[in-house]
Each structure stands twice: as C-alpha cells, then as structure tokens.
Structure 1
Amino acid sequence: MTAAARAHGLFQHLYGIEPVGIWAAPGRVNLIGEHTDYNDGFVLPFALPHRTSVAADVLPEQRWAVTSELTGETVEFTLDAKVDGWAAYVAGVVWVLAEQGHRVPGARLTVASDVPIGSGLSSSASLECAVLTALVDLAGLDIPIADRPRLAQRVENDYVGVPTGILDQSASILCTAGNALFMDCRSLRTEQIPFDLAADGLAILVIDTRAPHQHAGGEYAARRAACEQAAAELGVAALRDAVPADLDRLSDDLLVRRARHAITENQRVLDTIELLRSGRHREIGPLMTASHASLRDDFEVTVPELDVAVTAALTAGAYGARMTGGGFGGCVIALVDADRVDNVADAVAKAFAEHGFAEPAAFKAVPSAGAGPV
C-alpha cells in the first residue's frame, strides 16, 4: 500500500470523514555536489519515487493536529507554541508561512512515508515539503513554486535549528520525472537535465548502509563553519568563488582540506553536467568515485560502512560510486549496468557480512516527480 493510501486510511480511521486532499513530496539522492549548497555552489539531485504523503482537512480555528503513522502519536499545537521532535517539521511550516504574512488555516493532518528515515535520503525535507504543499493549497496561497524551497529551508534552519543548505528542499519540490535538477545555489537558477539511464542500459543503485545517519549535531555545523572561515580568510563571499590556487593562502591544513573539497566538488558537478548533456553517461562514473574520495579524505564525512560499500560496488563492476547526503552514515549510490544491479547489490551485502556490518538494503532509483497533490 502506498504512503498516500496509508495517510488517507489513517485520516479516515481517526476522523471518520474523507480528507480534503492528499499531497506528497519525494525523498532525493544527490548524484553529485555534496556540501556545496551552503558554499553557494552547484548541486545535481534527483527525486526518488519514495514519498511522504499528507492527508488533511481544514479546521475553523487556528490550531493544528498532526498524526504520524510511524509513531502513532498525535501532536497538537497553536501558533504561539514551540514544537520539538518530528512534529517540529510540521509546526515549522505553519510558523514560516505565518512569519511571511500569510494566514494559515487550522488543519488536521495525517502523515505516512516510504522515505527511509535516517538514511540520508532527505526524509525530513520530504515531510516539510509535503506539509508546505498541502497548506499552501488548503489556504489558496499564491506562492510561486520557485519560492517554496527557500521557505522549507527556513523551517529546517530557523525553526528546527539544523544549518542545512537548500539542496534537499529544492529537489523535493522542483525535480521532474526523468531528469536530474542542476541548481546554482547562489542564484537559485535551475535546469532540468535529462537523465534517462535505462536507454543506455544503465541504472543507479542506491545502497542503504543502515549506518545511522545523523548530521543535526555538531559535525555538520562544524563543516559549514570551516568552509565559512576558509572563505573569510580568502576574502571571498563563499568558496564557490575560490579556485585551487587559493588553497596556499589558507592558514590551517584542516581549512585547506575542507575548502579543497568544496572547490573541487563544484568543478565535478560542472564536468558531470557536460557529460550528461552529451549523453556520455558512463563517463560520469570516475567523477562520482572522485567525489567520494574527496568526501572521505578532505571533508571527512564518511564512515566505514560507506567506504566498504563504495569499494565493493567498484570491485563488482560499478562505473562509479559515492556516498550521497550529508554523510556520517546513510546511503551510497553506484552507476551500474542495468543487468548487473543484483550482482553489485549482492557483492556489497557479502562485503558487509565479512566486516560484521548490519545487512544493507538496496534498490534501483528512477528520477521521479517533485511535490504535488496526489
């Protein structure tokens, strides 16, 4: 049963009536361009078919109740209440819309999701974006699609308190089926890049390492702070404006490594775009692998499970492989021949067993549509 059907069923069970509507937003993987978004750089995500769905109706007064299928918990709140935990991603949407001067109608919402939690596939952004899409439609608000990712990012940054960039929310809202989303995180200019791997006999395999993915704590914030310090020392607005020759001017080896990742990763995104535009899909593999090495050695956000998964996938014949998401756990993506998906997945599972890791999960990712009504 789909997440939309489960959210609908939960709403009917709780309230005995039909919801006004159902809305959904996807998780995402980032093909390449990791930790570049908050450096005003370039990213290239695509949306997953896995979605978070919200069924909702309107209440006559400004209060909200949200029920999670996962926890079975119902959280009720008003505009003057600060909400913590998973429901903060819902209350934060109400807050940011009100803070922007919109009148947000009270609502009852039920939530169900197919996006794996804690896997670096942006389950939190999919929740924010599904709720945002629902409330905008319920209220009849005239908020252009292009402006919505910034609002959802503010939920994460200013309400929940996680200093993420705008990649996840943009992917969840702006992606289209069959394409990757090329985004300039400074100008917010986007371009849909055709990404039809099946026509070339290829596939993207997503390997969920089951290593707990957590970047809400100090490590993510520390990477961002180091990048900002490096940019300040170089006298540029962001590391997007720096070039490799600038690294010699930095005072500290740690800053050199952090900045080198951001600078080289931006170039890898641009190189990947050029290859995809010319249909040279297999040739992006080495760029993916180089991205992982940079994230491992210079940015230091991988963990043993991620590194073992990448090595095993490459050994089994993947054209390229890299961690995706913020790091410190989560998922690896691998570019593989479509008829070797199972072989590569099996090779990773065998390597995990040999290392005593938890059994990984794997699935083939197909570029899918962004947020909208169901």
Structure 2
Amino acid sequence: MRQRWQKKPTSDSGLKSTASAPGKVILFGEHFVVYGSGAILCAINRRITVSAEAITEKKIRITSDVGSLDMEPGIPACDVGSSLRSLYHIADTALRSHGIPGIKMAVKSDIPAGVGLGSSSACCVAGAAAVSGLFPDSSREKILELAVDAERTAFQGTSGADCTVCTYGGIIRYGAKSHEKIEPGPGFGLAVASSGTTHSTESVVARVKKFRDANPAEFSRMCDAESEIIRSAKGQIEQGETAELGRMINQNQQYLEAIGVSNQTLQEMVRIGQGAAAGAKITGAGGGGCVFALTDGGTGAADAFREGGYECFAAGIDCDGLIVFN
C-alpha cells in the first residue's frame, strides 16, 4: 500500500519508513532560475527510494550505491566529507528535533548521479520524507522545506525548483515564491540521451557567475528573454503546440551555449536531437550529463541519438511526485 504521508508515534528503535521521489528534466530555465527568471520542470519516471529506521545506537548510518556513511550525530554538514552529507543533515536535524538516539538509512536509485536528472534533489526529497515518516505531524510542505535545506548543504545556491518538482510531480512552472502545475496537451514526449560523462554542478555554476559578472548587461538581457519564454511556454505545453515549443527550447539552448555551460559533445548531441525532433537542449547544469529532445511520442529522436552512439531512453511524465510507503 502507498500513500502520500505516513504518520507514526514517536518511540525508540523499530520505527521504519520508506519514501520514493522522481527525477526531473528542466524544460526551461536552468541557471537563469537562480537569478529570478523562473523555470519549467518535468518530473520523469525514474526514481530514488530511501528507507529510514530509528536505532538505539547514537549513530547515523547510510548505505547507497555511491558509498556509505557511519558517523556520530551532531557534526555540521559542512564538515561531513561525503557525498551523502545532505542525507546526514536530514537525519541529524531529525535527531535534534525528536530526541531519539540514531537513524539508519538505505538508498536505492535508478537515476544516474551527476547527469542533470535530479538525483540529488530526488534523494533529498525521498530522504526527508522517509525520516519525517518516523515521527508524527509531517506534511508535504515541511518535507519540501527540509529537502531544500538539505540540498543547500551540497549546492548552496540551489533555487529549490528541483526539489519542488520531485515533491509534487508532473510539469510545473516554478517561481521564487510559488509554483503551478501545467497539464500538457496531447503528444508531449521526451527522449533523454546521456553524454556518458558526469559534471560538477558547483564548477558549472561558478562558470555562469563568472560570465554574469563579466557581462552584466548581456546576462540581464538573456534573463529577461528567458522569463518571457517561460511565460509563453506554459500555454504552448497546454495546447500541445510542439513546433512552437521546440523553437523555444532551441532558443533556450542558445542562451546556455552563450553562458558557457555547453561543450562540443553536448552541442553535437543537441544538433542530433534538433535534426530529429521539434527541439532539443541540455537539461541540468551542463558541462556533461544529458540532453533531451521534445518528441510527439515517436521514436525518431531516440533512434537518432542511438545511431550517434549515445544511450537514450523515452522519459514519461511522473505525475505522482513524492510517495510514502507503509
């Protein structure tokens, strides 16, 4: 059985909770969202599942496909030298708030890390929900707040957009103070292709900031243009206007290339996607990772990516968002 929230009485060891959250594709707005332009994101049908259990030892223990962690609680997240520091922060926050000795967590993922598909955000959302499920009075809003706080231990400047779509699912238009769901028209499809290389979000974000500082007027103009694309794209998605939506996606890609987050491999992949579909662009930080093509549900773009030597999958829209299991 699954439900959105799972509430349990506070106690000692033996309490267990499991939660799952989807990955995402950024249709519009990566990097520019941090500077107020907003974004449109789509949750996809690849998931991370996190289980949490209260234990009697004064420990935070985490196991995952990318490593493990076994530490005393009470250490600042910035001093945790592990890629699992965000989950450590979630567990440590819960221990301080609820007074139990320790927590162990286990992570299972079918979202590849470091490729722009929201693995870190999905992990934070699922982790926050799993740990919150050990205690009463959890809510989706509190879980999202904890997840964003945790993600900031890894990416200080995160906008919160990724965690928001991983929590609510579907397609959303995200702004700094609110978000709204977008219901796509018929024929909305995505083909996601991997470059085979990961990226460092921090280094790419720093590169964008350097460009912005050196070219303030040009960057401001692109932010304004991106905001206008995002305002217009909502209607195009709802009406299923694939051709116009593809044109906007290609325009967004030009901005990403201008601010320096693309490279030769990504540009080759984008050109393959644009040649076989209405539009294609980078998703996520750039510098590596993935590209998506907007399709009408056909296989032409996926076939073209594979013929070019790139792994590819058809991404469905995940409408569930965060799920808590019991």
TM range (shorter): 0.7 to 0.9
One-letter code of the match for 2:322?
A
Q: Deviations over 1:43-96 (max 9, x none)?
A: 11111111111122211355321111344x343331236422222121122345
SS of 2:202 mapped into structure 1: coil
2:125 to 117, 129, 140: 129
The structural deviation recorded for 1:308 is: 0.7
After superposition, residues 274-285 of structure 1 pair within 5 angstroms as 274-285=235-246
Aligned to 1:39: 35
Tell me the equivalent position of 1:332.
Answer: 291
Residue 46 (structure 2) aligned to one of 45, 50, 53:
50
Indicate the residue corresponding to 1:90 in structure 2.
87
Structure 1: runs of 5 or more not aligned: 1-16, 230-251, 352-358
3-state SS in 2 of match to 1:55: strand
Structure 1 residues 57, 160: CA separation in 2 closer, same or farther (over 3 Å shift)? Answer: same
Judged with a 3 Å threshold, the aligned counterparts in structure 2 of structure 1 residues 290 and 161 are, in CA distance, closer, same or farther, namely closer
The answer to whether the 8 Å contact 1:29/1:325 transfers is: yes
TM-superposed CA distance for 1:225, in Å, is 6.4
1:78 aligns with 2:73: yes
Is 1:344–2:301 an aligned residue pair?
yes
- Do the aligned partners of residues 21 and 289 (structure 1) sit closer, same or farther apart at CA in structure 2, a change above 3 Å counting? same
Q: How does 1:6-155 map to 2 (within 5 A)?
A: 20-60=16-56, 62-71=58-67, 73-80=68-75, 82-96=79-93, 102-103=97-98, 105=100, 106-142=102-138, 144-155=139-150
Displacement, 1:289?
0.5
* 2:275 counterpart residue number: 315
Q: Which moved more, 1:206-215 or 1:131-140?
A: 206-215
- Give the share of equivalent positions with the same residue, in percent: 22
CA deviation string 1:243-298 (max 9, x = no partner) = xxxxxxxxx5x22333232221111111101222334244211000100011102x
Task: Tell me, yes or no, if the aligned pair for 1:28 and 1:171 is still in contact at 8 Å.
Answer: yes
- Distance change in 2, residues 1:345/1:276 (3 Å): closer
**Residue type at the aligned position of 2:198:** P
Are the counterparts in 1 of residues 191 and 295 from structure 2 also a CA contact under 8 Å? yes
Conserved 8 A contact 2:208-2:260:
no
The whole-number CA distance in structure 2 between the counterparts of 1:18 and 1:59 is 7
Report the Cα distance in structure 2 between the residues aligned to 1:345 and 1:279, rounded to whole angstroms.
20
Check if 1:204 corresponds to 2:190.
yes
Measure the CA separation in 2 of the matches of 1:86 and 1:108. Answer: 16
In the superposition, relative to structure 1, how do residues 220 and 270 fare at CA in structure 2: closer, same or farther (>3 Å)? Answer: same
Alignment match, 1:246: none
Q: Which residue of 2 aligns with 1:165?
A: 159
Greater relative CO, 1 or 2 (CA 8 Å, sep 6+):
2
Mapping of 1:196-345 within 5 angstroms? 196=185, 199-200=186-187, 202-217=188-203, 219-224=204-209, 227=212, 254-297=215-258, 299-316=259-276, 318-339=277-298, 341=299, 343-345=300-302
Alpha-carbon distance in 2 for matches of 1:150, 1:56 = 18
Whole-Å separation in 1 of the counterparts to 2:314 and 2:99: 38
* Cα shift at 1:147: 4.4
1:174 has 2:168 as partner: yes
2: CA distance, partners of 1:302 / 1:334: 16
- Over the aligned positions, Cα root-mean-square deviation in angstroms equals 2.5
Distance in 1 between the 2:145 and 2:219 partners? Answer: 25
Judge conservation of contact 1:96–1:154 (CA < 8 Å) in 2. no
1:248 corresponding residue in structure 2: none
TM value normalised by structure 1: 0.75
Contact 2:165 2:172 in 1 (8 A): yes
Distance in structure 1 (CA, Å) of the matches to 2:94 and 2:53: 17
Match of 2:316 among 366, 371, 374: 366
| Structure 2 counterpart of 1:156 | 151
DSSP-derived class of the 2:111 partner: coil
Following the alignment from structure 1 to structure 2, what is the Cα–Cα distance between the partners of residues 314 and 160?
Answer: 33
1:90-136 residue CA offsets vs partner (Å, 9 max, x unmatched)? 112234556xx732642211111000112111111111111101111
Determine the C-alpha separation between the residues in 1 that align with 2:323 and 2:60. 21
Unpaired stretches in structure 2, ≥5 consecutive residues: 1-12
